[in-house]
């Protein structure tokens, strides 16, 4: 039996959605093809890939309607994600949950709805694939199965996007994926003044590890340190592999002081236990640079560059330490 507790874990669900790094991204052909297929095959007015964030419904793709997002409290799909099964509404005007919904009483005059949850492999519903009509109608068993198949294809596309933005060795985001997440935090800062900070860290004397013990040993060091870092992250924090042995941690909502405390905790976690590489124990340290978004320049790259300067100050001061602005 699938874990129903995941349906009640809203913080975990939102964190899972953000791991896919898909919110507020441009239109992509695979998703647009799928929503157009749903619209044509089921003969409905609109079809959408709806993703449910904390307080909004954001559309990765919509066919038949010009819409980017809606408040979550008027979303039909926010009800769909509370279940493992498709949600069917033959006539929204006769359903007490939706009869006074502004999307029913006003534009776009929704009357009928079929939504299938977009469930991740670990059991979180990110949103729904939905078919919507402006006339009352029922959906038969065959149409529901077709929608389930299309929903599986949507989730598969999301998984492929995530794989493309994940580093194969460490599981961290690639630079591209991490920068996309950081750009969202910069946009949030401009919108509502939210704090954020980044920590960059670099493995000390990593070249010597590769030269002395070989590249497989170096790979083992990077994997282990990444795992130790992930174990310390809060929900919503993001680890990215920015370069060879250089990583960045994005800390939404954290100020400079909180980020420095976190960096120091990571530094101790790395240095206080050896890394087991094929039975050989290697004592590894790292240097850390911390920069808050308030001190950052106008772009993610300038933010990274500022943190990178702090990192190299830490290295110049003797390594295995944290420097921040």
Which sequence positions are flagged as catalytic? 245
3-state helix, strand, coil in the chain (%, to 5): 45, 25, 30
| Cα–Cα distance, 301 to 308 (Å, whole number) | 10
Q: In a 3-state reduction of DSSP, which class is residue 164?
A: helix
110: Cβ contacts below 8 Å, ≥ 6 apart: 76, 92, 98, 101, 103, 104, 132, 133, 134
323: Cβ contacts below 8 Å, ≥ 6 apart: 288, 289, 290, 310, 311, 313, 314, 317
CB 109 within 8 A of CB 134: yes
| Cα–Cα distance, 166 to 163 (Å, whole number) | 5
Contacts 24+ apart (CB under 8 A), 10-14: 11/235, 12/124, 12/235, 13/81, 13/124, 13/125, 13/126, 14/53, 14/54, 14/235, 14/236
| Cα–Cα distance, 303 to 311 (Å, whole number) | 13
- Other beta carbons less than 10 A from residue 24's beta carbon: 16
Computed from CA positions of residues 325, 180, 244, 281, in that sequence, does the dihedral angle turn out positive or negative? positive
| Cα–Cα distance, 2 to 5 (Å, whole number) | 9
What the block records as the tokens of 181 is 């997440």
């Amino acid at each position: 039996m699938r874990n129903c507790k995941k349906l009640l874990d809203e913080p975990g669900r939102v964190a899972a959605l953000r791991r896919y790094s898909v919110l507020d991204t441009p239109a992509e052909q695979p998703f647009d093809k799928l929503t157009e297929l749903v619209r044509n095959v089921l003969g409905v007015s609109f079809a959408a890939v709806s993703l449910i964030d904390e307080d909004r419904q954001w559309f990765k793709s919509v066919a038949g309607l010009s819409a980017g997002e809606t408040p979550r409290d008027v979303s039909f799909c926010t009800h769909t994600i509370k279940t493992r099964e498709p949600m069917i509404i033959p006539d929204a005007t006769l359903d007490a949950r939706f009869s006074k919904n502004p999307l029913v009483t006003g534009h776009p005059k929704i009357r009928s709805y079929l939504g299938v949850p977009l469930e991740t492999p670990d059991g979180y519903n990110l949103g729904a694939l939905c078919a919507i009509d402006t006339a009352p109608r029922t959906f038969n068993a065959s149409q529901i199965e077709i929608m389930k198949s299309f929903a599986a294809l949507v989730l598969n596309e999301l998984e492929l996007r995530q794989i493309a933005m994940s580093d194969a060795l460490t599981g961290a985001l690639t630079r591209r994926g991490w920068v996309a997440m950081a750009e969202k935090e910069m946009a949030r800062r401009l919108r509502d003044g939210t704090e954020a900070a980044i920590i960059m860290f670099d493995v000390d004397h990593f070249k010597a590890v590769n030269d002395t013990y070989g590249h497989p040993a170096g790979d083992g060091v990077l994997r282990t340190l990444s795992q130790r870092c992930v174990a310390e992250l809060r929900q919503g924090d993001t680890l990215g592999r920015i370069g060879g042995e250089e990583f960045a941690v994005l800390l939404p909502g954290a100020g400079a002081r909180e980020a420095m405390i976190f960096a120091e905790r990571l530094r101790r976690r790395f240095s206080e236990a050896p890394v087991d590489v094929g039975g050989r124990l290697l004592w590894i340290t790292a240097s850390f640079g911390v920069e808050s978004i308030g001190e950052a320049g106008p772009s993610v790259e300038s933010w990274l560059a500022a943190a990178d300067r702090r990192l190299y100050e830490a290295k110049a001061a003797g390594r295995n330490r944290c420097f921040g602005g």
